[in-house]
Structure 1
Amino acid sequence: MSFDTLSAQEVIEAVARSGVQKGNMRLDKVFLSSVSAGCLLAFACGTALSTNASPWYSDNAAGLIRTISALVFPYGLCMIILTGADLFTGSFMYTTVAVLQRKLPWWKMLIHWAVTFLWNLAGSLFMVGIIFDGGFFDADPFKSAVSTFATKKQVTPDFRMIFLRGIGCNWLVCLACFFGMQGRDLASKIMGIWWPIFAFVSLGFDHVVANMTFIPLGIWVDTPGITVGLYIWKGIIPTLLGNIIGGGLFCGTYYWYMYLLDIKTLPIPGRTKSASDTEVPTPEGMSVKNGDIEANAGIPNQV
Structure 2
Amino acid sequence: MAYLAPSEFVPKLIEAGESKIMMSTKDTLIRAFMAGAILALAAAFAVTINVQTGQPLAGAVLFPVGFCLLYLLGYDLLTGVFVLAPLAVWAKRPGCTWGGVLRNWGLVFVGNFAGALTTAVMMAIYWTFGFAAEVDPVGQAMAITGEKRTLGYAAYGAAGWLTIFVRAVMCNWMVSTGVVGASMSSTVSGKVIAMWMPIMLFFYMVFEHSIVNMFLFPTGLMLGAKFTIADYLLWNELPVVLGNLVGGLTFTGLMLYSTHYRTSPKRNAAELKIAA
Identify the residue that residue 111 of structure 2 maps to in structure 1: 119
Partner SS state of residue 182, structure 1: coil
Amino acid at match of 1:31: L
Matches for 1:43-58 after TM superposition, within 5 Å = 43-54=41-52, 57=54
| Displacement after TM superposition at 1:120 (Å) | 0.4
Specify which of 60, 66, 70 is matched with residue 70 of structure 1.
60
Partners of 1:78 and 1:112 lie apart in 2 by 22
1:9 aligns with 7
Divergent runs of 4+, >3 A: none
Q: 1:79: how far off?
A: 1.1
**What is the alpha-carbon distance in structure 1 between the residues aligned to residue 242 and residue 7 of structure 2?**
27
Secondary structure in 2 matching 1:50: helix
More helix by share: 2
Q: 1:132 aligns with which of 123, 141, 148?
A: 123
Using the alignment, how far apart are the partners of 2:74 and 2:139 within structure 1?
32
* 1:93/1:248 contact within 8 Å kept: yes
Note the residue ranges of structure 1 that are not aligned, 5 or more in a row.
58-64, 264-303
Contact 2:135/2:223, CA 8 A, preserved across alignment: no
Within the candidate set 38, 44, 69, 1:79 is matched to: 69
User: Aligned partners of 2:124 and 2:223: how far apart in 1?
Assistant: 10
Match of 1:106 among 93, 98, 102: 98
User: How far off is 1:128 after superposition?
Assistant: 1.2
Whichever residue aligns with residue 142 of structure 1, its letter is V
Contact 1:52 1:145 in 2 (8 A): no
Q: Give 1:152 deviation, angstroms.
A: 2.5
Q: Which of residues 32, 36, 39 in structure 1 aligns to 2:37? A: 39
Q: Residue 233 of structure 1: CA displacement?
A: 0.6
Equivalent positions of 1:11-30 (< 5 A) are 11-30=9-28
Is this contact kept in 1: 2:169–2:245, CA < 8 A? yes
Tell me, which stretches of 5 or more residues in structure 2 are unaligned?
129-133, 154-159, 265-276
Shift of 1:260: 1.5
Aligned counterparts of 1:205 and 1:133: Cα–Cα separation in 2: 24
Residue 276 (structure 1) aligns with: none
Alpha-carbon separation, structure 2, partners of 1:238 and 1:166: 8
Q: Which amino acid aligns with 2:123?
A: F
User: In structure 1, what is the equivalent of residue 79 of structure 2?
Assistant: 89
Shift, 1:114, TM fit:
0.4
Q: Percent identity?
A: 26
Q: What whole-Å deviation, never above 9, does each CA across 1:142-184 have from its counterpart, x for those lacking one?
A: 1221122222322213211110000000010111111121111
Aligned mates of 1:107, 1:199 — CA distance in 2: 33
Q: Is 1:167 aligned to 2:158, yes or no?
A: no
Identify the residue that residue 249 of structure 2 maps to in structure 1.
Answer: 248
Deviation at 1:240, TM superposition (A): 0.6
TM-score, normalised via structure 1 length: 0.80
Report the secondary structure of 1:20's partner residue. Answer: helix
Asked if 1 retains the 8 angstrom alpha-carbon contact of 2:124 and 2:223, the reply is no
Q: Distance in 1 between matches of 2:178 and 2:6?
A: 13
Match 2:179 to one of 177, 180, 183? 177
Give 1:234 shift: 1.7
Q: Confirm or deny: 8 A CA contact 1:35 1:122 kept in the other structure.
A: yes
Checking the alignment, whether the CA contact within 8 Å between 2:10 and 2:261 is kept in structure 1 is yes
- Distance in 1, matches of 2:64 and 2:235, equals 24
Deviation readout 1:5-40 (Å, 9 max, x if unpaired): 111111111000000011000111101111111111
CA contact (8 A) 2:124 2:222 kept: no
